[in-house]
Amino acid sequence: MSTPYFLDRWAAEGNALVAPLCREIAKIGRALNNITLNGNPAIVTERGVALSAPSRASGTPFVNIFAKTSATEGSWTPGKVYFAGRQLTVADEPATITVGASACKFWIEIDFSYGTAAWKSGSAFPTLPMGDALEWFRMLDVTLDNDDQIDTFLCPTPHDIHVTAKSS
């Protein structure tokens, strides 16, 4: 199947279409490069936003933020989870996260059957597919050094979670 409108327009305008598109891509890139957290640069990666800058109790531009407080711990600033338009409380979501070899990946699991959300952790994220009843969101991905201490960390979902209900 072809789209003659776009093919004809490309043939007629050719490189004249490329320049405006490149300008828009450059604007997006500059905007992403200028994201900051408390005045410190936030790094945009292919896995999410790396926000290793220290967070403060209020006024942070993002939620779901981990702030390292020791070699194996950090404080967690949670966002909100909405399921079918109503806010859920995430069961077992901690204010302080302790990491180790057996728990360096953290996620929120939404159970569509019961309309609940739960905090989960493990040495690896769940594998897909999870089935029709479950959906999970990566919250924190910690890389440990050789001494099982925090080397780097990434918050792949630095925003509130909005999930629509699924019909069976």
Q: What is the pLDDT of residues 63-107, one digit of tens each?
A: 888 889 999 999 998 999 999 889 999 999 999 999 988 899 999
Task: Give mean pLDDT, residues 37-51.
Answer: 62
Q: What is the pLDDT of residue 101?
A: 86
Res. 156: pLDDT tops 60: yes
Q: What is the mean pLDDT of the chain?
A: 80
Structure confidence at residue 18 (pLDDT): 64
Average confidence (pLDDT) over 136-153 = 92
DSSP 77-112: E---EEETTEEE-EET--SEEE-BTTB-EEEEEEET
Domain ranges of the chain: 4-33, 40-163
Alpha-carbon distance of 8 to 112, in angstroms, equals: 46
Q: Is the pLDDT higher at 55 or at 127?
A: 127
Which of 14-28, 69-83, 113-127, 152-166 shows the lowest mean pLDDT across its residues? 14-28
